[in-house]
């Protein structure tokens, strides 16, 4: 039997290699040959979905203050730190990724105070629909009601995954996590890999009928763990290292079977 290949998702396009969530990062991740590109979507003051992680502009641009207070025209005047160019609209990001055949791993962010942006989910799904990308898109969020909204639409998404913050993942039992996820119409979760690796948590989640993947897989040891536990996918800032280690593991498996 051929082992299931764990897919590699370049987190924010590969944040350890290029300016995160930038055209440069997405083009680089495509060239590397990863299976998925992870990116974040938020909403401008004039209701345009844009690709950006933080709720404030300070860390990753030459601007300051809340992203949600700026119009798209105002955001386009800024530069992404590290030579990443302009902040991309979701439409622009899709235009880069769609021709490659890569899986889009789209995290719908809540706004400041964890309050969802009005209309962001529908606007995001509308763009993906126009490009015919549902079958190639994984929708993720730390905000379970956002995912419940997506799941309620019964769209032919590749997957819908609940990103579980560490305090919640540690506070709730695998059974409780499964109850919450399934009630929202979600069958897959992704905690931080360190939480997932504690004790029997991974096997317990699988026993609770949850497909478990991981985020935050950065160091070589973490990547080897994720590959060795046959996760369906994990996100990493170092997709180049993940590809190298996966190739080495598969080579060793073939050698051992010879």
Active-site amino acid positions: 11, 53
- 233-236 vs 7-10, strand pairing mode: parallel
Residue 42 near residue 68 (C-beta atoms within 8 A): yes
Q: How far is CA 212 from CA 138, 146, 206, 234, 250, in A?
A: 14, 19, 7, 10, 21
Residues 6+ apart with CB under 8 A from 253: 3
Distance separating alpha carbons of residues 242 and 248, to the nearest angstrom: 10
Residue 162 near residue 186 (C-beta atoms within 8 A): yes
Pick the closest to residue 205 from 162, 248, 238 (CA basis). 162
């Amino acid at each position: 039997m051929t082992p299931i290949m764990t897919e590699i998702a370049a987190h924010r396009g590969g944040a350890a290699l290029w300016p995160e969530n930038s055209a440069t990062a997405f083009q680089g991740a495509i060239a590397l040959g990863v299976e998925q590109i992870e990116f974040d979507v938020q909403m401008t003051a004039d209701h345009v979905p844009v690709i950006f992680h933080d709720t404030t502009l300070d860390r990753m641009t030459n601007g300051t203050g809340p992203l949600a207070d700026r119009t798209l025209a105002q955001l386009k005047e800024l530069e992404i730190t590290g030579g990443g160019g302009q902040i991309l609209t979701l439409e622009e990001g899709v235009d880069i990724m769609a021709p490659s055949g890569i899986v889009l791993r789209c995290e719908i962010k809540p706004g400041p105070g964890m309050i969802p942006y009005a209309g962001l989910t529908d606007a995001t799904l509308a763009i993906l629909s126009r490009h015919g990308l549902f079958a190639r898109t994984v929708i993720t969020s730390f905000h379970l009601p956002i995912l419940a909204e997506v799941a309620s639409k019964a769209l032919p998404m590749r997957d819908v995954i609940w990103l579980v913050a560490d305090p919640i993942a540690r506070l709730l039992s695998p059974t409780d996590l499964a109850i919450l996820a399934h009630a929202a119409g979600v069958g897959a979760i992704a905690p931080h890999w360190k939480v997932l690796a504690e004790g029997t948590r991974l096997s317990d989640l699988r026993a609770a009928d949850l497909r478990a993947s991981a985020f935050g897989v950065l160091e070589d040891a973490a990547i080897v763990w994720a590959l060795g536990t046959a996760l369906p996918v994990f996100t990493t800032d170092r997709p180049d290292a993940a590809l190298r280690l996966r190739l080495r593991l598969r080579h060793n498996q073939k050698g051992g079977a010879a």
